[in-house]
Chain A
């Protein structure tokens, strides 16, 4: 019952035989050991599982791994190049855009998708565009600040 699947994850080619019902988030976490992508609600609401599928933010708990067959996937582990944090990661760290940190990988992945589409997003736009990411600590104020600082750093 296994189906062959292959994709590019964080720049590396990966392939496996999987059960067709395998969710993309489980493929990333269990098969590839990329546990930076979190499972929060498992019902496509909280956004902790957000990754980039061909450059676009999606909720990997609501996508079958087979829907990513042949695609290019980026997870939180794929952002920092050669030991240096991605500007958005650095901004979350500097602005204390996290409390418990559980939602952070999804927040960062959504924030990068957001800034790529709205490089000069104001606070209202950031809040609206992050609708699909929930912070249970309610740390939104610093998250929005971090996204603004990260956006500025990404444009440099």
Chain B
């Protein structure tokens, strides 16, 4: 990789200041960023390390919400008794990210800020209507994901935590690419506390999105058969050497049905 400067931040505000001053990038777990730097797809002049900042750590259960600190490792979400008790679908999702070694380094905040088209966390955040909390503001899930690797975050804005409203039930199922294990299609289904059905899809398009037709079907009956009977249009879906847009469109109701069955 190209030469890079390194600074360690003491707080989220400190990290923001260091990034604004240097034009650099935040380093969370580095499981996507370091690989991108090795390939020279990313060439930050400065890395500002967020490790060890107290305000980015911790998992808290408050009235009806589960809050996960931005620097929480996937493995720690997967193993958290609080997560398993309140929203077990999130623990299962975290346990399915990458492999054990990646889960031991990678963080929820890093994954969301990166917004990889096939990342798992964006589907959970969008389906549950979570709130992304930064050191400056609160961003609703529907306003956060802007496009491929693009979010509503300013360049010097630091995610501190994600707040998930506890749903009635939820589940995430992905159809992994056999080689990379990234989601070819991943579907997070949820029945929210108010009874509404939400369905978010990752891996199938440049950015995570809600599957309106599957949501409409599940609003009538939250059953696998209802999900499976929904029609998803292939327009706008990704087509690549792994799967055509039509195949991804076919997979979405199928995987959604499996998720409803698991919820």
Contacts and interface: CB of A to CB of B under 8 A. Distances in A.
A129 B101 CA distance: 10
A63 B3 contact: no
Interface string B249-261: 0000000000000
User: B-side binding surface: helix, strand, loop or mixed?
Assistant: mixed
A67 interface: yes
Interface in A91-139: 110, 113-114, 129, 131-133
B5 interface: yes
Most buried by B among A23, A114, A131: A131
Contacts of A62: 30-31, 34-35, 102, 105
B3 A131 contact: no
Nearest to A69: B8
B102 A59 contact: yes
A56 interface: yes
Interface in A46-96: 47, 50, 53, 56-59, 62-64, 66-67
Contact of A110 (B4, B30, B101): B101
Contacts of A56: 75, 104
A59 B34 CA distance: 12
Contacts of A1: 3, 5
Given A44-B101, A63-B105, 12 more contacts: A3-B6, A44-B31, A50-B101, A58-B105, A59-B105, A62-B30, A62-B34, A62-B35, A64-B6, A66-B6, A110-B101, A113-B100
5 contacts: A3-B6, A20-B3, A44-B35, A44-B101, A53-B105
